[in-house]
Chains A and B, each alone.
Chain A
């Protein structure tokens, strides 16, 4: 059996600010992600989600514990070896504008990562294919632009293009959808679905949005005060949360369709008895209820 793509074992990290009490941000956390799997890490601000992501990416060093990528521990790696290994483990951050060098064009941004991944020369054809993957078409419209010349949704697509360029085994996405409009959010999720299907990439998706976790993840880990307090298949955790904190999180969701529960991957039946869904199923205009008095 293959080892997990990413395996975090008993990670701990305490921040010690000079003028405040030490803060145990991540406290003995273990989590693993299999090939092609999506694990959602949910929790509220301050729960330690983002610190865990940074520990997994080895952007900061843990006080104790191990990060294993495709079975190999990253803990004793030299900076160079770590850089090479990290190509297999790509981040996407919440604010794509802040994660690009503003003085580099789309062409330069993507060429750089392809060269890091071992390409000796990068042609426009290769860049076009990459941009097409994230539906930035035609490529000539984008290659010479700077990140600030793109819309928010286009920038997030560029961030995804950069992340998939080295063909990573796992993408660690920290709130990639917050701030996105409803229709953009669905478009980006569709892109992540396609990449998973086509390349078997795995995701660690960090989100405070239970709706996104429900829609996209196979498993959910709930983080609270630096610890994972509940973990299980998304269906089980959302349908029957055990921990009171998880129950609160789920109760707070203001979803269009009550009750809030897991519905993946069963196809949606628009003609069910849910009164919220009646009246606009199918392809008709669904407005026949409007009597046309002025």
Chain B
């Protein structure tokens, strides 16, 4: 356990969806924590469960078809795992807020940006002086005051993401989740938005959970990272350790594929095999069928979590005693 207080703790979370009469195990064994003031990255490919995890942490799992089978979510000391929709309203916005990949689908297209920021401000603090506070928020995200009178479609992609950010910050969150915040943006805008996020983390004293498939982005912006695969957190630890001295074969595969360097045969490193079938509840290592170093035990038992003093750890049978 770290010395700092935890703002978020997810422990062994197992979440299922009902889909066309079948059960999808979107999250199977997901664990992570975010300490106060930390920037934590969550990496994984499509279907790894990273967005389901983000939704679970905000109580945004679709009702009726989703079930939390196992595990717990603790936010700022409160166990929120089985909160009612009404109780979740006391969590969303503050202490936890989220910005999504595509701001255009989350901003109200027929409402001026200023009104949307104002709504968020009043929701958090009904007595607030809305205009003054909205201006303050715009300044924080480095937008001109004139943006208050604009509609979302009149803004560029980067400006929309900043407007979303202003709305999220209106609630003074202690943890901001950024779900693929810059995927649709140009590289230069992407760098600006991430620099802004880190700056805000420091000035507003909040924590950040950045979800991305882009390891390069996480490499430059996060203190620690988690790597997810098929609903499991397979590796975690300080960013440099996880990406440069990966303990799990999946992380190594992901790092090598991300590099896009030519191999001697002129090809690029990739990860062989098929994407995991989430209809299955894994009772062994979920990566075994694609792993180049698979052993018998990998097909039979769930590997235990192993870690070192720096908080770098993984779930892989290769890390057991007797193996180098």
Within the complex, the shortest CB–CB distance from B253 to chain A, in Å, comes to 7
Question: Considering only CB atoms, which chain A residue lies closest to B248 in the complex?
Answer: A287
Given A189-B260, A290-B306, also A254-B324 (CB < 8 A): no
Check B324–A181 contact: CB distance below 8 A. Answer: no
Which residues of B have CB within 8 Å of A254? 187, 190-191, 194, 214, 216-217, 219-221
Within the complex, the shortest CB–CB distance from B198 to chain A, in Å, comes to 12
Check A285–B260 contact: CB distance below 8 A. Answer: no
Residues A211-268 near B (CB distance < 8 A): 211-212, 214-215, 248-249, 252-257, 263-265, 267-268
Within the complex, the shortest CB–CB distance from B19 to chain A, in Å, comes to 16
Check B308–A290 contact: CB distance below 8 A. Answer: yes
Interface string of B266-288 (1 = CB under 8 A from A): 11111100010000000000000
Q: How far is the CA of A283 from the CA of B253 in the complex (A)?
A: 12
Check A190–B268 contact: CB distance below 8 A. Answer: yes
Given A182-B254, A186-B270, A254-B220, also A265-B262 (CB < 8 A): yes
Interface flag for B55 (CB, 8 Å): no
Given A151-B275, A249-B188, also A280-B245 (CB < 8 A): yes
Stretch binding the partner chain, chosen from A27-35, A57-65, A141-149, A271-279: A271-279
Other-chain contact of A215, B157, B216, B262, B264 (Cβ < 8 Å): B262
Within the complex, the shortest CB–CB distance from A160 to chain B, in Å, comes to 16
Interface flag for B45 (CB, 8 Å): yes
Within the complex, the shortest CB–CB distance from A196 to chain B, in Å, comes to 10
Other-chain contact of A256, B259, B269, B271 (Cβ < 8 Å): B259
Given A183-B253, A254-B217, also A212-B260 (CB < 8 A): yes
Which residues of B have CB within 8 Å of A284? 324
Other-chain contact of B324, A186, A210, A275, A285 (Cβ < 8 Å): A285
Interface flag for A78 (CB, 8 Å): no
Q: How far is the CA of A268 from the CA of B261 in the complex (A)?
A: 7
Check B191–A255 contact: CB distance below 8 A. Answer: no
Within the complex, the shortest CB–CB distance from B292 to chain A, in Å, comes to 8
Which residues of B have CB within 8 Å of A193? 266-268
Q: How far is the CA of A294 from the CA of B272 in the complex (A)?
A: 32
Given A186-B257, A252-B188, A275-B244, also A215-B268 (CB < 8 A): yes
Check B191–A181 contact: CB distance below 8 A. Answer: no
Check B213–A256 contact: CB distance below 8 A. Answer: no
Check A276–B270 contact: CB distance below 8 A. Answer: no
Interface flag for A125 (CB, 8 Å): no
Within the complex, the shortest CB–CB distance from B285 to chain A, in Å, comes to 13
Given A182-B213, A215-B262, A287-B314, also A210-B187 (CB < 8 A): yes
Check A290–B262 contact: CB distance below 8 A. Answer: no
Task: Give the most central of A181, A214, A288, A291: most B CB within 10 Å.
Answer: A181
Task: Give the most central of A264, A285, A287, A292: most B CB within 10 Å.
Answer: A287
Which residues of B have CB within 8 Å of A151? 275
Check A256–B309 contact: CB distance below 8 A. Answer: no
Q: How far is the CA of A286 from the CA of B243 in the complex (A)?
A: 12
Given A181-B213, A248-B188, A249-B188, also A289-B245 (CB < 8 A): yes
Check A252–B247 contact: CB distance below 8 A. Answer: no
The number of chain A residues touching the other chain, given as a range, is 35 or more
Interface flag for A9 (CB, 8 Å): no
Which residues of A have CB within 8 Å of B262? 215, 263-265, 267-268
Check B243–A183 contact: CB distance below 8 A. Answer: no
Other-chain contact of A292, B245, B293, B306 (Cβ < 8 Å): B306
Check A263–B261 contact: CB distance below 8 A. Answer: yes
Which residues of B have CB within 8 Å of A248? 188
Interface flag for A126 (CB, 8 Å): no
Given A215-B262, A285-B324, also A290-B186 (CB < 8 A): no
Stretch binding the partner chain, chosen from B110-118, B131-139, B162-170, B315-323: B315-323
Interface flag for B255 (CB, 8 Å): yes
Q: How far is the CA of A197 from the CA of B220 in the complex (A)?
A: 36
Interface flag for B72 (CB, 8 Å): no
Which residues of B have CB within 8 Å of A189? 260, 268
Which residues of A have CB within 8 Å of B271? 183, 186
Within the complex, the shortest CB–CB distance from B270 to chain A, in Å, comes to 4
Question: Considering only CB atoms, which chain B residue lies closest to A213 in the complex?
Answer: B260
Within the complex, the shortest CB–CB distance from A186 to chain B, in Å, comes to 4
Interface flag for A19 (CB, 8 Å): no
Which residues of A have CB within 8 Å of B267? 190, 193
19 A-B pairs, CB-CB below 8 angstroms?
A: A183-B257, A186-B260, A189-B260, A209-B187, A215-B261, A215-B262, A254-B190, A255-B216, A256-B216, A256-B219, A256-B259, A265-B262, A265-B266, A268-B262, A285-B249, A286-B246, A286-B252, A289-B308, A292-B308
| Residues on A facing B (Cβ under 8 Å) | 44-45, 151-152, 181-183, 185-187, 189-190, 193, 197, 208-212, 214-215, 248-249, 252-257, 263-265, 267-268, 275-280, 283-294
20 further A-B pairs in the complex, CB-CB below 8 A; given A189-B268, A211-B260, A265-B262? A182-B257, A190-B268, A193-B268, A208-B187, A211-B216, A215-B262, A249-B188, A254-B190, A254-B220, A255-B216, A256-B258, A268-B261, A268-B264, A280-B244, A285-B249, A285-B318, A285-B319, A285-B323, A287-B245, A289-B308
| Residues on B facing A (Cβ under 8 Å) | 45-46, 157, 186-191, 194, 213-217, 219-221, 240, 243-249, 252-255, 257-264, 266-271, 275, 293, 306-309, 312-314, 316, 318-321, 323-324
